[in-house]
Chain A
Amino acid sequence: MIRVTLPHHLRNLAGVGPEVELDVDRPVTVSTVLDALEARYPVLRGTVRDHGTLKRRPFLRFFVCGRDVSLEPSDKELPMDVTEGAQPFMIVGAIAGG
């Protein structure tokens, strides 16, 4: 079970709490986590990554185990603590704007 934390507005949009749990087949990567997230919550399609290009939205970052993996290849396997559910995959919105 993978744990994913979402920013405030995406929680509201998907009607969920701060953290969701997802079944993700191995290998667990940024792409497979986001695929599973969008499959479970279709309303989030296009919000974390662009609907057409599947690129990460510029103001969003991905953190695991205290590390920013936003710029790493999206098919790179995530740490064991994340794949085993000990640590969450965190989707974080930049603090910016008014």
Chain B
Amino acid sequence: MSKVRVLVGTKKGAFVCTSDEARQDWAIEGPFFCGWEIYHVKGSPVDPDRIFASQTSGWFGQIIQRSDDGGKTWNPPGSKPEDLVNEMGWPQGESNKFVYDGVAGTHKWYDGTPHPWEFKRVWHLEPSLSDPNVVFAGVEDAAMFKSSDGGASWTELSGLRTHTTGQDWQPGAGGMCLHTILIDPTDHDRMFVAISAAGAFRTDDGGTTWKPVNRGLSSNFMPDPDAEVGHCVHRIAFHPSKPQTLYMQKHWDIMRSDDSGDMWREVSGNLPSDFGFPIDVHAHEPETVYVVPIKSDSEHVPPDGKLRVYRSRTGGNEWEALTQGLPQKNCYVNVLREAMAVDTLDECGVYFGTTGGQVYVSPNSGDNWTAINEHFPPVLSVEVQTLK
């Protein structure tokens, strides 16, 4: 019998929720790293018991944690002194060492002046599709790092940050973060990232060189609404069987590209609001997409106090509200960009977490929802593993 493992990152720790394929009864373990912000937790598709977590704190900086037993026990990778002694007899301790390549230079600050690149935290961890020792990290200030030793040490893929447009990147309200990494399952050298507020970028050579893929996006807050970079992309997603088709939740607008990001078109259609953060795709239907609209960029709450996931079965434009089991009055939570995921069971499960601490599951593609737990700390990220 299959089971699912839901990995929840919150403002006060990580939680691991497990259930069988009915997805009705849940065992909850945690909090792990209680009191720390856990921006993201994600397991390796090659070795599902290997799970990486980004643990951060305004006091103590960034820690990378790794579990090799499905989330039961955790350690910073390579942190044991006996694993680390170098030729000088000193521990190396580099699992949380994120240092920009070369002279980091500057990007734009909120007021348009140059500002030095400063590493702050890891927003997103994306394990390789083929090697359990390879994992990518998307960080703030925006850059991409790669580890080839299970997270013990990290090297920047600096071709992204040093792109000719890099000095013009500017932070969004939440900081200048690289929050989305997608690896094309048909060509692992092709990857997409999204940066708030620089836009979307694509590499076709494993991260050595990058190009902005933002044509068709329009952002009225920019001096040139159609500029090559500067767009506040909140999330991008694709279906593994159709990776050339991308969906995007932007700072206003739901967008779609059918040519790997070379050109985008708006598919917001009949949504009550095209502002929001997460977007995801049904596990078996590449044209079925989910978003959670919120009222506006200044009021990050559901319209009319009703928490509604919107589903399109036509790849955008036509959207239906999914409400069964979700609060339909007096609800003022938000759903953050990392906080939605799907499982791959025969009947696709959809999951999301809120800033109010609820994690909801729909075991039937969004038709009905129940709460896995209603009293977590504010949820920062949700990922799902489907286990045989």
Contact = CB atoms under 8 A, between A and B. Distances in A.
Interface stretch (A19-27, A45-53, A72-80): A45-53
Contacts of B59: 7, 9, 57, 59-60, 93-94, 97
Nearest to B59: A59
A60 B92 CA distance: 23
Range of interface residues on chain B? 20 to 34
Given A47-B60, A51-B97, A51-B98, A9 B36 contact: yes
A10 interface: yes
Interface in B66-121: 76, 79-81, 84, 90-94, 96-99, 119
A57 B63 CA distance: 14
Contacts of B99: 51-52
A8 B34 CA distance: 11
B93 A45 contact: yes
A42 B81 contact: yes
Contact of B61 (A39, A40, A57, A96): A57
Nearest to B96: A46
B119 A46 contact: no
A96 B252 CA distance: 34
A43 B76 contact: yes
Range of interface residues on chain A? 20 to 34
Contacts of A48: 60
A5 to B, nearest CB: 15
B35 interface: yes
Contact of B91 (A9, A38, A51): A38
Given A9-B36, A51-B99, A42 B61 contact: no
A47 B92 contact: no
A38 B63 contact: no
A45 B91 CA distance: 10
B328 interface: no
A40 B96 CA distance: 16
A85 to B, nearest CB: 23
B223 interface: no
Contacts of B93: 38, 42-43, 45-46
A13 interface: yes
A49 to B, nearest CB: 9
Interface in A57-81: 57, 59-60
Contact of B60 (A9, A39, A42, A52): A9
B174 interface: no
Interface in B44-72: 57-63
A94 B36 CA distance: 15
Nearest to A47: B60
A66 B91 CA distance: 32
B58 A50 contact: no
Contacts of B36: 9
Contacts of B61: 46-47, 50-51, 57
A94 to B, nearest CB: 7
A90 B94 CA distance: 25
A51 B121 CA distance: 12
B90 A97 contact: no
Contacts of A9: 35-36, 57, 59-60
Given A9-B57, A47-B61, A52 B119 contact: yes
B97 A42 contact: no
Given A7-B59, A93-B59, A42 B35 contact: no
Contacts of A57: 59-61
Nearest to A38: B93
A38 B80 CA distance: 12
Contacts of B119: 52
Nearest to A14: B79
A8 B119 CA distance: 24
A97 B61 CA distance: 14
A51 B139 CA distance: 15
Contacts of B60: 7, 9-10, 13, 47-48, 57, 60, 93
Interface of B: 35-36, 57-63, 76, 79-81, 84, 90-94, 96-99, 119
9 contacts: A9-B36, A9-B57, A45-B91, A51-B61, A51-B94, A51-B97, A52-B98, A59-B59, A94-B59
Given A7-B59, A46-B63, A93-B60, 10 more contacts: A7-B60, A8-B35, A9-B35, A13-B63, A46-B97, A47-B63, A51-B61, A52-B97, A96-B58, A97-B58
Interface of A: 7-10, 13, 38-40, 42-43, 45-48, 50-52, 57, 59-60, 93-94, 96-97
